[in-house]
Amino acid sequence: MRSRPPLRTAAAGVTIAILAVLVLAADQFAKNAAIAALPSERVVPIIGDFLQFYLVRNPGAAFSLGEGVTWVFTIALAVVACVIVYLGVRRVRSRLWAIVLGLLLGGVLGNLTDRLIREPGFPVGHVVDFISTPWMMPAIYNVADMFIVTMMISVAVLVLFGLKLDGSRETKASRAAAESADGAVDAPADPGAR
């Protein structure tokens, strides 16, 4: 099976940008629809206890942790978005990495948008959460959160399987060769050898 050539810089950046915009649009559309249609802080069963909607505005992080330091989450989301953009522009040549980072960026931008434009105001806006799956976890989340969590798991899987940002794959043999090369460089010179 022939491997595909790596993506060009522009193609990786465009892939990341398109996916990020699509996720951001889906997230903001879903949040605005939830605000317009759902009562605040009341359970609306969709599929029994399997899927419920429960509209809440979250000033903190997961499980409403850190409610008093909302601005910290705004900075953290902005830093993560900048790192992803930097990687997309400078280092990503793998299609898989471009897809994962594009979807992750879209999720990050979805929640960052809430922090910047929603009540009570810039940069401490509350994130709109409305999806509840009590059988799975006690948290209430949104579309952006789903992409953030699943894409962070995907990042871990790509790293675990040794897929580098440029599309090359780190194998046990290449890792052993790199470690032995590092050992040879770090080894002190034999003073008896001339």
Kindly list the catalytic residues: 129, 145
**Nearest alpha-carbon partner for 106 in 32, 23, 28:** 23
- The rounded distance, in Å, linking the Cα atoms of 81 and 93 is 18
User: How many other CB atoms sit within 10 Å of the CB of residue 75?
Assistant: 13
Surface-to-core class of residue 57, CB atoms within 10 Å of its CB (0-12 exposed, 13-18 middle, 19+ buried): middle
CB 106 within 8 A of CB 96: no
**Nearest alpha-carbon partner for 160 in 174, 147, 170:** 170
